[in-house]
Structure 1
Amino acid sequence: MAAFSHSLPVSKALLFRYVVLPVTLVGVLWTIFSLSQSEPAAELTPSRFHPLATVPQVPFTDGAIKPTPQSPAQWKQAAEDVKAAFLHAYRSYETRASPHDELRPLTGGAVDNFNGWGVSVFDSLDTMLLMDLKEEYTRALEIVKQANFSMPKADELARKLSPAFNTSSGLPTFEAGSASGAPRSMSGVLAEVASCMPEYTYLGKITGNKEYYDQAAMIMHRLESANLSALGGMLPTSWDLKFGRPYDTKLTVGGQADSGHEYLLKQYLLTGRSEKPALEMYLRTTTHIITRMLHLSSHRKLLWPTQLTGVAPNDVPRYAHEHLSCFLPGLFALGVKTLPLDNLAAEGIDFASLSIDLSFEGQKEYELLKNYKLSDLHLWAAEGMAEACNALYADSPTGLSPDEVMIHYGANSVRWIDALEDWRMGGKNGPVPGTARITPIPHVPGQKLPDKDYSIGRSAYEMRPELLESLYILWCATGDGRWRKYGWNIFQAIETNAKVEMGYSSLHYSDHLPPSRKDSMPSYFFAETLKYLYLLFTDEDLLPLDKWVFNTEGHPLPIFTWSADEKQTFGLDTML
């Protein structure tokens, strides 16, 4: 698709998931410009720009393992090391791949996998600001001016996306005909239909356009109104867009569903805690995860979320774990950090009443939790899942995680809640099940490894950020230095095995040495992976979690409240 111009071109079919990214970034850019008091050009100029030949290059040095920082000064230097990694990668992109979307770091080529509007530039802007990279930010602003990602353009793009919402339920479709407005399919998955609520709500806030708020509110209404009584109140994966109801009983926190679950809590926080249904769905979801989905592996007692199909008590687990699921410990930790979990009445929530419309099995879940403080359960779950995710890195010969593993569950495998009950009724002797620090099983060439409690499904290391986000939030929530140490070890592995002369590369195989590198450096490496590492290492509280919410692509949106005028304009007086 051609780049943006005075009249925004539209392809024959709008792919909502991919085209919504510019809308998201415009909202982020508006916030950035507001805070930095810089504005993009008012007049639209040609959006195809040229790389700057005078960009200074960072001298390439092979990654060398450094000891774990101990003092505040050493952690400050660790943050500077991450900044140097960003500069090494971004300046290489500037000189070799701009104006294309992403750099091919092995060949120095470029790829346009987001229609060629230079996504790496836009994805990097807020990371540059956090790192105080003024020169890079100034150059990037010139590109933003040429691309004209201004607020009017955001409004135009959002209007062009309106056909995606032309379903009888109001749940957006993945693809819609731009001429007729007709949806191309009447089925969708949770991550597609529910992963634009914060962005569209925020876009409505900053444009004053009620339509965008209404589109997000309708999604929330449909999710809240769905009959989930047999699923513990948790949102399943597949959805009928005509009637706004689930197609199946598959429950997962991995691909096709992850950000749908993530956005329940984040929507509540972003809107100044005004959307109580989002919080209620988040609490139902986390309760079902704790009581039905979390399992302990046989030997190492790794705490994993399973996938479930069917209805309790006859639901069937699938023991697969995607790296994408490693966002979940961070989500639990965010709830611990921001919610009064042991006094939900302060949020207007009667926790016990959340089970009233659930099945008998669902109501039993809430009976189990009466024996615990909710804040303890959520923190234990966050810590245990983070330990398990970190083991995938620490066990690996490269120090980098595979993209998916299959969990080995045998006779000694148990549901986590059952192990907790045994521990509680046994006098709470020893550590909380599933929360102990996991000892890595190192790679020893030529020797048969003991059972790690998992086997590798997809071996590729895709430079994903999910665990790093979780480590950062856990560090903010607990102050426990192990989360920083784990992040440092991952960063050292990136420096050692992913760094190349022209940037950083993904790996074909995380479990092979020497590393087999892929000619790929995704833009989220700038937007998320390096951002979360930098935030984890710096002692400055640059983005307080009570003032900012990260969207699912790692871009911060400011928490806001609705003014009296906005409540009247958007019809919120009777809703909030």
Structure 2
Amino acid sequence: MSVLSTVWGTFFPTNMPLSFHRRGISFRRILVVVTFSFVLCILYYSHSRRTQSATGFVPEEDVVIWPTEPPEIWAERAAQVKNAFLDAYHGYERYAFPHDELAPLSNASTNSFNRWGVTAVDSLDTMLLMGLKDEYERALPLIMNSNFSLPVNTAVPFFETVIRYLGGLLSAYALSNDSRLLTKADELGTKLSPAFNTESGFPVFGINTYEGVESGPPIGVLAEIASWQLEYSYLGKVTGKKEHVERAITITDLLNNANLTLSGGMYPTKWDLATGMPRDLHLSVGAAADSGHEYTLKQYLLTAQTDKENLEMYIRMTTHVINNLIFISPQRQLVYVTDMSTYKLEDTRVSHHFEHLSCFFPGLLALGVKMLPLDDLESLGIDVEELTRDLLPRDRRGYETLSEFSLADVHLWAAEAIAQTCYMTYADQPTGLGPEAVVMRAGGMFRTTLWMDAVRAWDRHGRQGSPPGVGDKLPWSEPPGLVSTRERDRATISRDYGVRNIAYYLRPEAVESFYMLWRVTGDVRWRYRGWHVFQAIEREAKTPSGYTCVDRVHMKVPVQLDLMPSYFLAETLKYLYLLFLDEDILPLDRWVFNTEAHPLPVFTWTPEELTTYGFAEEHLPSAML
């Protein structure tokens, strides 16, 4: 007997006299029936939403019309970004040059990155791309006169120095062909080389460039020990110096030879600098790990697709992330990538934190879709059986799952869905600026689902509508009339996440992915999303002297901080400028951006270089053997 029949029989027994039909029904009974019916409706709706969320086919209800505007409009928007760069850089020149970064509220300077004028060096290639010759010429004497040394007992951070200074010099050289910049890049790369004097060959955190002595803890994080191959490979190519190239080969071998069985073939976050082995099972594409994964694909592309080991690592990493680290939220179908830690084989914990830093990942996936034959990896010499040989059975099953689909489709769906969530974290805030980190609602009635489970369910149900999380969504807004904090807390549940770090640090990762997706798909919505972000930056972050980081982005009245990071000029404004340009001045098949958005030209090793540098067969695709 059903629950409904039982309740009905309790209050309206079947043996009741026929006169029941002629007598009035008591108010109490009516109230019970109405209440019970209401509860049933709520339970059914809640179950239906959870079922639809789990199957991944909640109907797309939000319709967003993206207008078509003439090229002149976008050219004007690119010009506005160029003017923003000039405002920011001129403020730096006026109040902070030759120091590292501008404090745009106090009109002071900070020296967090070696005191070598990081904003000037980081901005060189942006100036060249924007045609700002005067600013470029004014910056050169600072660079030419630097000896890249600090006082005794002072160390510089290896990772930040490579991506900002060395990457900036090499990119400016590639765009200008100014040999003076190459000379300084070679000088800096050589001065940083003692960082590799560890037992394994992984670079240490810091290096005293005055005395040539390395310093730092014995444990390194992935982003810092594995995000310099692009810079040193290109430096070796253009200088002809074997030692630079050998360092890039060494890091590839170290990572490729590591035991990654328990991490699903994906690089963990922490590494022992003595043994060259992983020290934890924390998996993430966010802080402390991001660019280490990014450089697998980009090293392959920079060397004209002749670095097979890095390609294999990219496929392993993306497969594990797609199967295990991408989730979809229960109500708004927001797709996000998070991190997990394994403490024992059966004790894996997912944080459901979603960082702004992770918003680079959709752009990386989109780049891979454009540049790789993902549905014909065999043509690149990739053998899936060999690729998965050392993996646990549960991780091999992930490859079987993806084999049910076009791999290129899955990568592009994931890219579009995650990038849309990145945008929603901006559009949902009253300021229009994205917070540094959010935590997605998970647990209790908020049952998040692995995204690939939702994709498979969507496929089984006939692929109705867009793939899970891919269709356009409207920004969340707080319902009107709320007064108490409790009311607001309850209302924000429908947003599917809570803001964990309420600051926007002028970061580039979201607009980087918008740029990549625009160039890969030609879909104008990515340009509009970038335009909305730029408008919010103009409205909330601009100061009389430049632009500043913003706190309390989730409030209607935010608070400006007092720092303009160099990457705002090197990355954020550069990607926005390129996004609004119709002309593709840096084609993705000819240029590769380092993790600080410094473009380096694709190059090919000559047969003589392959012999000189001792490339092993495992580094090369079958076509070169």
Report the equivalent of 1:101. 100
Amino acid at match of 2:469: G
User: What is the 5 A alignment of 1:449-468?
Assistant: 449-451=491-493, 452-468=495-511
CA distance in 1: counterparts of 2:140 and 2:318, whole angstroms:
41
The SS at the match of 1:245 is coil
Amino acid at match of 1:333: A
Counterpart of 1:363 (choices 356, 371, 396) is 396
Report the equivalent of 1:442. 477
CA distance in 2: counterparts of 1:497 and 1:443, whole angstroms:
20
* 1:445 shift after superposition: 7.0
User: What is the 5 A alignment of 1:254-265?
Assistant: 254-265=286-297
The answer to which of 359-368 and 441-450 deviates more is: 441-450
Report the equivalent of 2:223. 191
Does 2:440 correspond to 1:417? no
Counterpart of 2:417 (choices 384, 388, 409) is 384
* 1:139 shift after superposition: 2.2
More helix by share: 2
The SS at the match of 1:295 is strand
Any conservation in 1 of the 2:230–2:594 contact (CA below 8 Å)? yes
CA distance in 1: counterparts of 2:183 and 2:75, whole angstroms:
40
Residues 77 and 473 from structure 1, CA distance in 2 versus in 1: closer, same or farther, beyond 3 angstroms? same
User: What is the 5 A alignment of 1:462-541?
Assistant: 462-541=505-584
Report the equivalent of 2:595. 552
Q: 1:236-270, CA deviations, whole angstroms, 9 ceiling, x for partnerless residues?
A: 00111111111111101110100000000000001
The answer to which of 540-549 and 300-309 deviates more is: 300-309
Report the equivalent of 1:309. 341
Any conservation in 2 of the 1:294–1:303 contact (CA below 8 Å)? yes
User: What is the 5 A alignment of 1:146-161?
Assistant: 146-147=145-146, 150-161=181-192
Counterpart of 2:193 (choices 159, 162, 166) is 162
Report the equivalent of 2:614. 571
User: After TM superposition, which residue ranges in structure 1, 4 or more long, deviate above 6 angstroms?
Assistant: none
Any conservation in 1 of the 2:478–2:492 contact (CA below 8 Å)? no
Report the equivalent of 2:258. 226
Does 2:430 correspond to 1:397? yes
Residues 241 and 144 from structure 1, CA distance in 2 versus in 1: closer, same or farther, beyond 3 angstroms? closer
* 1:141 shift after superposition: 3.0
Counterpart of 1:244 (choices 276, 286, 289) is 276
CA distance in 1: counterparts of 2:87 and 2:283, whole angstroms:
41
Q: 1:162-213, CA deviations, whole angstroms, 9 ceiling, x for partnerless residues?
A: 2221122111111357758565432111011101111111111112111111
* 1:137 shift after superposition: 2.1
CA distance in 2: counterparts of 1:200 and 1:460, whole angstroms:
34
Query: TM-score, normalised on structure 1?
Result: 0.85
User: What is the RMSD of the two structures over their aligned residues, measured on CA atoms?
Assistant: 1.9
* 1:334 shift after superposition: 0.5
Amino acid at match of 1:335: G
Q: 1:433-478, CA deviations, whole angstroms, 9 ceiling, x for partnerless residues?
A: 1212222112567533342111111101100000110000000000
* 1:500 shift after superposition: 1.3
* Number of equivalent positions: 510
User: What is the 5 A alignment of 1:15-54?
Assistant: none
* 1:432 shift after superposition: 0.7
* 1:312 shift after superposition: 6.7
* 1:413 shift after superposition: 1.4
Any conservation in 2 of the 1:394–1:442 contact (CA below 8 Å)? no
CA distance in 2: counterparts of 1:425 and 1:395, whole angstroms:
32
* 1:282 shift after superposition: 0.3
CA distance in 2: counterparts of 1:415 and 1:306, whole angstroms:
11
The answer to which of 113-122 and 492-501 deviates more is: 113-122
Does 2:469 correspond to 1:426? no
Report the equivalent of 1:127. 126
CA distance in 2: counterparts of 1:566 and 1:417, whole angstroms:
43
The percent of aligned pairs where both chains have the same amino acid is 50
Amino acid at match of 1:155: D
The SS at the match of 2:251 is helix
CA distance in 2: counterparts of 1:374 and 1:352, whole angstroms:
16
Structure 1 portions without partners, runs of 5+: 1-66
Amino acid at match of 2:388: S
Amino acid at match of 1:316: R
Report the equivalent of 1:217. 249
CA distance in 1: counterparts of 2:185 and 2:579, whole angstroms:
32
Any conservation in 2 of the 1:197–1:216 contact (CA below 8 Å)? yes
Structure 2 portions without partners, runs of 5+: 1-65, 148-179, 483-487, 621-625
The SS at the match of 2:282 is coil
Report the equivalent of 2:88. 89
Counterpart of 1:282 (choices 314, 328, 342) is 314
Report the equivalent of 1:41. none
CA distance in 2: counterparts of 1:270 and 1:477, whole angstroms:
18
CA distance in 2: counterparts of 1:291 and 1:194, whole angstroms:
24
Any conservation in 1 of the 2:144–2:184 contact (CA below 8 Å)? no
CA distance in 2: counterparts of 1:362 and 1:573, whole angstroms:
28
Report the equivalent of 1:112. 111
The answer to which of 422-431 and 228-237 deviates more is: 422-431
Report the equivalent of 1:5. none
Residues 441 and 184 from structure 1, CA distance in 2 versus in 1: closer, same or farther, beyond 3 angstroms? closer
Q: 1:311-343, CA deviations, whole angstroms, 9 ceiling, x for partnerless residues?
A: 776522111111100000000001011111111
Q: 1:296-324, CA deviations, whole angstroms, 9 ceiling, x for partnerless residues?
A: 11111111112111177652211111110
CA distance in 2: counterparts of 1:68 and 1:467, whole angstroms:
21
